[in-house]
Amino acid sequence: GENGLKLVSSDILSHLSPILHFSLGWVGFIFGFQFEWRYLKRIQIYKYLAFLLSYMILFLMIFLFTFLTLKLFFPAFISSSRILFGTAILLAFLFSESSFSFVTWGARFFKEEVTGLKLCSFISTMNNLIPIFLTGIIFSVYRFNHDSRAIELNELSYIVKHFLFQFGAAIFFGFLIYLLQKKVEDKYDLSVILFGSIFLISGLSFIYDLSPLFIAMFAGAIFANLTKKHHFILKIINPTERPIYLFFLLILSFKMAYFNLLMVVFVVLLLFIKYYSNLLAFKAVNRIKPVFFSMPPHLSVLLIPISSIGPAILLDLSITYPIANTSMLSGIFILGMLIAEVLSPIGVSILMKTKHD
């Protein structure tokens, strides 16, 4: 890409723009389709409380470390205190995410700790919802001025109207998809309806400065609670998930990523902060009264890897707000995902060896 061997030109990347916008909407729809009220209402209230407590501790620890580190060691990428604060907030939300697939993989090594594994699975799913919700808010709060190449704050009345419009659009498209597929039984016809609807959401979002990820996610959640064809639809959407996430990572590295050795050190420290923050959070969870469970703190190693929804969030924001420090953000995030994928299995292996000894 532009920051590497330049084998992929900027013209090629610009021609991929329609596919990229569709992919953002499609990933949002896939993620939203998981949230069915009939399952969410069965989850005990203590799990929601444990999730909120652990997420707040994790987010605050990562934010403070990121804010201070960026201010001291990356001043060239930070043009103002507002950008510094926003960048730290965004990285804290992104690095607070966890990978559900890694929790599933790691569960086979801790089969006897069923309650703890269930909570880890729940946390890894729910903490991906908050950054997507934040993305929709950011699109309403800020706008990008193409003349001054700066991010500007919108007025309060516009923020409220814009956010309600995004939410209303999600409700509208959720019901529209349901009505269009109501009498459709053929798999290919249903695929056409889903693809066409997401293309429409993504195209309108691009034109009117909306978040395709946010709108498609809530549309998917609404559709999931209306339709009865879940098994049928999952056969269509599940095989597309991993290739799209790989596509996002390639686009980030081709177009926007910047790397250096200092970033590697920063990311490694950031991941250790994430691990120990979750460790502290689990110990705090165990003190909640009445005690419903004893959460093994060592299971926090399963929450180190970053969710694959992260690249979609970063791309969604990077396309709309192409400011100077976007390349730094992309570089830190890509390094975070790659290093976490290496360190986490090592951490599980060390735990298992310690356990056997």
The pLDDT tens digits for 322-356 are 776 677 888 888 889 889 989 898 888 888 877 66
Q: Quickly list H helices, the chain.
A: 10-15, 17-32, 37-40, 45-73, 81-95, 100-106, 114-126, 129-141, 156-181, 187-207, 212-224, 230-237, 241-251, 261-285, 310-320, 326-356
Is 26 a residue whose pLDDT tops 80? yes
Is 265 a residue whose pLDDT tops 80? yes
Q: Quick one: what percent of the chain has pLDDT higher than 70?
A: 89
290 and 45 Cβ atoms separated by less than 8 Å: no
Spatial CA neighbour of 216 closest among 234, 236, 194, 240? 194
Q: Which amino acid is at 337?
A: M
Going by pLDDT thresholds of 50, 70 and 90, the confidence category of residue 130 is confident
Radius of gyration of the chain from Cα atoms?
Answer: 21
Q: Quick one: what percent of the chain has pLDDT higher than 90?
A: 22
What's the confidence (pLDDT) of residue 6? 56
Q: Average pLDDT of the chain?
A: 83
Going by pLDDT thresholds of 50, 70 and 90, the confidence category of residue 253 is low
Model confidence over 30-50: pLDDT tens digits?
888 888 888 878 887 777 887
What's the confidence (pLDDT) of residue 247? 74
Going by pLDDT thresholds of 50, 70 and 90, the confidence category of residue 182 is confident
pTM, two decimal places:
0.83
User: Any idea which of 55-64, 213-222, 249-258, 343-352 has the lowest mean pLDDT?
Assistant: 249-258
More confident residue, 67 or 297: 67
- The structure tokens listed for 343 are 């360190």
What's the confidence (pLDDT) of residue 187? 77
What's the confidence (pLDDT) of residue 176? 93
What's the confidence (pLDDT) of residue 294? 66
Highest mean pLDDT of the ranges 180-184, 234-238, 245-249, 340-344: 340-344
Highest mean pLDDT of the ranges 4-8, 9-13, 277-281: 277-281
301 and 344 Cβ atoms separated by less than 8 Å: yes
